[in-house]
Chains A and B, each alone.
Chain A
């Protein structure tokens, strides 16, 4: 069954340090997509980064990168040079079926990241 696991309920990081948020997933499908979202206290969901199961290189978007280890079924988010504005909830999500929209998207339980000045 499709499942996303985030084992870090909360993390504290010093400003300007790098931080890694863990995500493992379970799927029997060969084609799938992985996403990371940020949710500030306002409640809005902000898309950060996407990784397709057939992508050979790890995805990067500015300060965000995704450490994709397919054999381990992990898709960790790395935030470099953290900023105070990075304090938020972070969710890992997955869609089976790769580039098709014909499947559901499920989310992990989230990690609350707090950046210390």
Chain B
């Protein structure tokens, strides 16, 4: 079945460590997105990518980095520069033509202790 896979579902890290969240899609979508969600809040855009080897900052990119070396993959690194990294992270992808809603992964809940 086609879809978006985020791993792991739960992730614990010590403060000061970088951590990379995985996002893989087999929907052949061009665009991919990373969002952060804090409890009871909406989704805030971290980074997005329209094509391979290209990506743009969203509204809250500071302390995060991404890469888009393959169409299927868009990993997100939460660096030690991110002041408050504990949150729920959602990855999404969308197609280029027609109905272009975003399809979401199951999310990764990151806890930094």
A104 and B100 form a contact (CB under 8 A): no
B76 contacts partner chain A, Cβ-Cβ < 8 Å: no
Bound CA–CA A43/B56 (angstroms): 25
Q: Mark A9-52, 1 if CB is under 8 A from B, else 0.
A: 00000000000000000000000010100000001110100100
B30 contacts partner chain A, Cβ-Cβ < 8 Å: yes
Bound CA–CA A104/B99 (angstroms): 15
B106 contacts partner chain A, Cβ-Cβ < 8 Å: yes
Stretch at the interface among A67-75, A79-87, A94-102: A94-102
B106 and A43 form a contact (CB under 8 A): yes
B103 and A105 form a contact (CB under 8 A): no
B74 contacts partner chain A, Cβ-Cβ < 8 Å: no
Stretch at the interface among B18-26, B42-50, B62-70: B42-50
Residues of A within 8 A of B50 (CB): 101-102
User: Given B40, B92, B96, B109, which contacts A45 in the complex, CB threshold below 8 Å?
Assistant: B92
Bound CA–CA A95/B101 (angstroms): 9
Residues of A within 8 A of B90 (CB): 45
User: Given A50, A91, A99, A101, which contacts B43 in the complex, CB threshold below 8 Å?
Assistant: A91
A110 and B96 form a contact (CB under 8 A): no
Chain A CB within 10 A, most for which of B88, B97, B104: B104
A interface residues (Cβ-Cβ under 8 A, vs B): 6, 33, 35, 43-45, 47, 50, 91, 93, 95, 99-102, 104-110, 112
